[in-house]
Amino acid sequence: MDQQASAIPHVLVFPLPVQGHITSMLKLAELLCLAGGGGIRVTFLNSDYNHKRLLQSSNAESRSQNYPGFRFETFDDGLPMDQLTKGEKISELLGEMDSKTRPVFKNLLVQIQPPVTCVIGDGSLGFISDVSLEERKIWRG
């Protein structure tokens, strides 16, 4: 990777996989692209299931065209589809995500290119900051 590419900040945005959180974090990702004037890369991380729903109900793909530094990254969260569609208790969803999504997220942080320089994760998903600290993608002051 050349020095210029590595000097560009790369923000990974990871919302809780429910509609209100996805919509809000997607807007934040869009604002980061606008504020950076093309000088910030933004990767929006979403589960396969929610990404398919997002594409069906919005013009989400246009963000890649409108903001060259923006991209979607998806993952299989390992959660059964019926669990996601029956209004499962949020505490159970969070527990399942911690055990099934933590290793997927860690692997993504290690492999994603260009390397992530900042992680914005939903506060409800505590493992995001834990894994980000382990991989030195964020620091606590």
Please list the active-site residues.
Answer: 21, 122
Helix (H) / strand (E) containing 53 = helix 48-57
Distance from C-alpha of 16 to C-alpha of 5, rounded to nearest angstrom: 29
Distance from C-alpha of 133 to C-alpha of 105, rounded to nearest angstrom: 12
**What's the start-to-end Cα distance of the chain, in Å?**
29
Distances (CA, A) of 98 to 7, 40, 87, 105: 32, 29, 18, 10
The helix/strand/coil state of 72 is strand
